[in-house]
Structure 1
Amino acid sequence: MDLFEGIDHIDMAVEDVEASAAFYEGMGFRVTRRTDHAGGAVELRFPGEGQQPVLELIPCVKPDGTRIATPGIRHIGLRCKDIRAAHSELSQRGYPFKNEPKYVAVTERWLANTTDPSGAIVQLVGVQQS
């Protein structure tokens, strides 16, 4: 069973969100949304035709000075054909999930997180719940 349709997004922490956004825009990425996530994030669509993934840039340091991440990739989101089916199948195979798929109104998507053996987050992403 094919559980995934592709990469939905890559979440990356950066020291300067605006400088990094300008860097990726110069490469052909397109800003699609700015959010308050983690003190101010920018979402950019990868260049190319079709449904390209999003690169989400979040600050390493919140506006209050609290460091929340080191620079680098924080997680990868995999676009699911059916998030409930993917969650169920992977749970049965022994993948540990932190949560059942939950709806996030800000992004209008369903999300569920698991971790790889080294602790890196892999996020299942669904537009609709079956």
Structure 2
Amino acid sequence: MSPWSPASSLGQSASPQSPPPRQRPPPSLPQPPAKKQKQPPKKQSSVKEPPKKKEQMKKKAKEPAKLPWEKTYEECCEEAKKAVDEHFKPKKPEKKVPINPADSAFFLKMTDVNRRKFIPPSDYDDSIT
């Protein structure tokens, strides 16, 4: 048969032998049911509040803050005064961490050495003098 024959285009094999029939896989054995884990018995509380009361309390507590254009003049003044007082209240000084004397002596020596070095004036400074 030619490669363009109708038999080859339909996916049929051109050879006279047919492939062996497929064999089914052996049936799988049923798996044993999974063991249930023991759960402790649930305790029933004697008194429970209905959920409606809790939801109402949460709604009341979570009122959104008023936007600036919804506030009265007095409310704006109070808020501004609180912000100013908070900003200008006395602040506690930071605790000073002691410095190791050996380290401070090392850096003091470095500054003394740099002071003693002669640095010639720059060309600009030399031209002025």
Q: TM-score range by the shorter chain?
A: under 0.3
TM-score normalized by structure 1? 0.16
Give the structure with the larger helix fraction.
2
Larger proportion of strand: 1
Query: TM-score, structure 2 length as denominator?
Result: 0.16
